[in-house]
Amino acid sequence: MKRFQWIGIILFLPILFLWTSASTHAAPLAAYSLPEGRTYDQAHNTGYIDWSGSAQYVYITHRDGSSLPPEEGGTFCGSNCSEWVTRLGNGGVASGSFDRDVSYFEIMVGFTPDSSVGNAVLRACSSVDTWYLQTGSGLPGFVSMAIAVPAGCRSWSLTASGGYVDFRSIDVEYIGPPSTATPTPSRTPTFTPTITRTPTATFTPSLTPTLTFTPTMTYTPTATFTNTPSPTPTPLPPQITGVVVCDLWGDAGWCRGDETLELTASDPQGLDVTITGDLNGQPFTCGASCDLPLPEGTGTANYTVTSTSGRAASGSSTWQRDWTPPDLEVNLPPVDGRNGWYVSEVDLSATATDVISGLSSLLASADGGASWITPPMHFTDGSHAVLIYARDVAGNEVTVSKVIRIDTVPPVAQITSHSNGEVVQGDVRFAGSLVDGMSGPDGGEVSVDGGNTWQAVSMSAGDGWSYIWHSGEVPNGEYTIQMRGRDRAGNVGDLVSIALTVDNAPPAVSITERWWIWENGTLKVSPITFRLPASR
C-alpha cells in the first residue's frame, strides 16, 4: 500500500510544480471584458479600458444628441453639456476585450472644428474603420462610430492618428449568454494549496496488480524541486494614474487657465507607495496622491510609483498651457497737426508676437468690427475709430483701439461786411465767415498794414468772425485789409483781402462873404474829400 502511495506522490509532484509555476508567473489579463450595454470611458479607472501612449481625461463642452451618464444627471446635450471625456494624443491607444461573439459594437468619438484633431482608427481584429474628426464650426459633438466584429474576435482598440481623438463611451451587444460566470483579469494568485485536482487523489488499492510501475521511473529531476515547499506568489505591481486638469480650455488642446497634474497611485496588495518624477526635468516627490501645478508652455511629466514590495510602475503626461495674450504693438506716425489732428494722410501698421503657443491671427477693422483686414491700413480725411486684434493659437485675445483724426484741407475765409473800394472812417467793424468741414474753424487774424502785423479776430457761434479797426489811428489814405483763417487741425487758409479808403479829415465850413440886410447869408458845411491821382 505504501508503495502505491509513493508512486502517486511522485506522479503528482511534477503536476503540482507546473501548476504552481503557471499560477505564480502568469501575466494578468489586460482588461476586464466589456459588459453588455454602454460603458463610459471612465471605466479605465476600474479596469475595463486600457490606455497606452498619450492618454488623459479632459473637460469639454459639446452639443449633440447624447446624454450625460445617469450618475451625472442624465442631461440631454441637445443645447450643450460639459463632462470629462478621454483624450488620446497622437499615437495614443485605448483598448479592451470582448467576452464572446459580438452582434453590435460602437464607440462615441468627438468631431470638432479644432485643426489639431486627428483620425480615429477603430479596430476589432481584422475589421478596421477610420474617421477624420475635423468639422466646420461650433461646439464639438459626439457621434457613434460602429464597426462589424468578426466571429471569434475578442479584442478591440481605438487609436489616435495625426492628432488627438476624444471619446466618451463604448456600446457592445453580445450573441448568446455569457461564456464564463466571472472573468478574473489581473488576478492576484493567493496560492491556496487546496488544489481540486481529484483525478490522482484517490489511488485506491483496487487497481489491478498489472499496474506495476517499474523502478525504471527515472523521474529523479523532480527531487530538485523540494527547495520550494511553500511557494509565494509574485506581488502585483502598483498602479498610477495621471490626469491633466484645466479650468479653462482654449483652442488646439491648450489650457488658458490654471492647469494641474493630478496623480493617484495604489498597490493591489494594500502596501504603501511613493510617487517620484519630474516636470520638464524638475524633480518632485509625493505620497499616494498629489496635485502639481503646471507652468506655462509645453512639457512632459514623467512619474513612477514604487511600492514597499519593491515593484514599480511608470507613466507620463504631456501638457500645454498658455494664458498670456499676444504682445501687440500698433505703429502710427507722430501727430503733425494741432489738437490731436493729423494734417497729412496716415499709414497704420501693427506687429504681434506670442512666444508660447504662437500667433494665430493679426487683423484690423475700421468699421466697428463688421469687417477685418490684415494690416497695414491707409487713412485719408476723416475721424477713424480703428480696432487692432491679435489672437494666439491657444485662443488668448488682445484688442487695441485707436482714433485717427485727419484734416488735410484748410478752412475758407470771406470778408462780407465791406466791399472793395469803400471809404471808411472812425471805428470800422469788419465781419465775415470762416468755414471748415472737417476739424472746424479755430480762429483767424486780420492785417491792415500789408501783412507786417496781425491781430486776432473774434469768433462767434457757428462760423462767423469779426474785428473792429480804429481807422482814426492811421493817416487817411488807401489800405489793403487782409484776413486769414485757421482750423482746429492747424491748417491755415488762403489770404482774402479788400482795398478801403480811410478819410478822417474835419468837414469844410463856408459862409457868404457879405449880404444886404434884406438878403440872407448862407452857411455851408460839407465833408472834405481829396482827389486821388488817376491811375495810369
The pLDDT tens digits for 92-138 are: 999 999 999 999 999 999 999 998 999 999 999 999 999 999 887 77
Domain boundary among 391, 406, 421: 406
User: Do 112 and 80 contact (CB within 8 A), yes or no?
Assistant: no
Domain boundary among 406, 437, 458: 406
Same domain, 291 and 331: no
β-bridge mates for residue 352, sequence order: 328
Q: How many domains would you assign to the chain? A: 5
Same domain, 94 and 21: no
SS3 call for 535: coil
* pLDDT, greater one: 18 or 414: 414
Same domain, 344 and 472: no
* Residue whose C-alpha is closest to residue 416's, from 478, 477, 487, 496: 496
What is the DSSP-derived secondary structure letter of residue 417? S
Angle at 424 between CA 423 and CA 430, to 5 degrees: 120
Residue 482 resides in a domain = yes
User: Do 325 and 359 contact (CB within 8 A), yes or no?
Assistant: no
Contacts with 319 (C-beta within 8 Å, 6 or more apart), sequence order: 244, 255, 259, 261, 294, 298, 299, 301
Distances, alpha carbon 92 to alpha carbons 118, 293, 357, 439, in Å: 11, 24, 22, 64
- The residue-averaged pLDDT of 356-378 equals 96
Residue 353 resides in a domain = yes
**What's the pLDDT at 526?**
59
**What's the pLDDT at 133?**
92
Contacts with 515 (C-beta within 8 Å, 6 or more apart), sequence order: 521
Domain boundary among 371, 390, 406: 406
Please list, residue by residue across 395-423, b when 16 or more beta carbons sit within 10 angstroms of its beta carbon and e when fewer do.
Answer: bbebeeeeebbbbebbbbbebeebeeeee
Confidence tier at 8 by pLDDT (50, 70, 90)? very low
Asked if pLDDT for residue 374 goes beyond 60, the answer is: yes
Q: Give the distance, in angstroms, between the CA of residue 454 and the centroid of all CA atoms in the same chain.
A: 62
Same domain, 216 and 193: yes
pLDDT in tens, 187-231: 433 333 333 333 433 333 333 334 444 444 444 444 444 444 444
CATH number at residue 446: 2.60.40.650
SS3 call for 46: helix
Same domain, 59 and 163: yes
CATH number at residue 69: 2.60.120.260
Residue 122 resides in a domain = yes
Same domain, 279 and 355: no
User: Do 410 and 493 contact (CB within 8 A), yes or no?
Assistant: yes
Same domain, 402 and 418: no
Length of the chain in residues, anyone?
Answer: 536
Residue 147 resides in a domain = yes
Same domain, 315 and 342: no
Task: For 171, list phi and psi in degrees, rounded to 5.
Answer: -120, 135
* pLDDT, greater one: 526 or 500: 500
**At residue 184, what is the residue type?**
T
pLDDT in tens, 137-154: 778 999 899 999 999 999
CATH number at residue 347: 2.60.40.10
What is the DSSP-derived secondary structure letter of residue 69? -
Residue 525 resides in a domain = no
Sign of the CA dihedral 524, 526, 528, 532? negative
Same domain, 306 and 435: no
Full domain range(s) for residue 63: 37-174
Residue 509 resides in a domain = no
Rounded distance, CA 468 to CA 473, Å? 12
Residue with cell 462767423: 464
Q: Give the distance, in angstroms, between the CA of residue 290 and the centroid of all CA atoms in the same chain.
A: 28
SS3 call for 199: helix
Same domain, 82 and 170: yes
Rounded distance, CA 47 to CA 424, Å? 110
Residue 535 resides in a domain = no
Longest dimension (CA), the chain: 204
Confidence tier at 241 by pLDDT (50, 70, 90)? very high
Same domain, 69 and 160: yes
Residue 440 resides in a domain = yes
User: Do 355 and 392 contact (CB within 8 A), yes or no?
Assistant: no
Same domain, 52 and 153: yes
What is the pTM for the complete model shown? 0.52
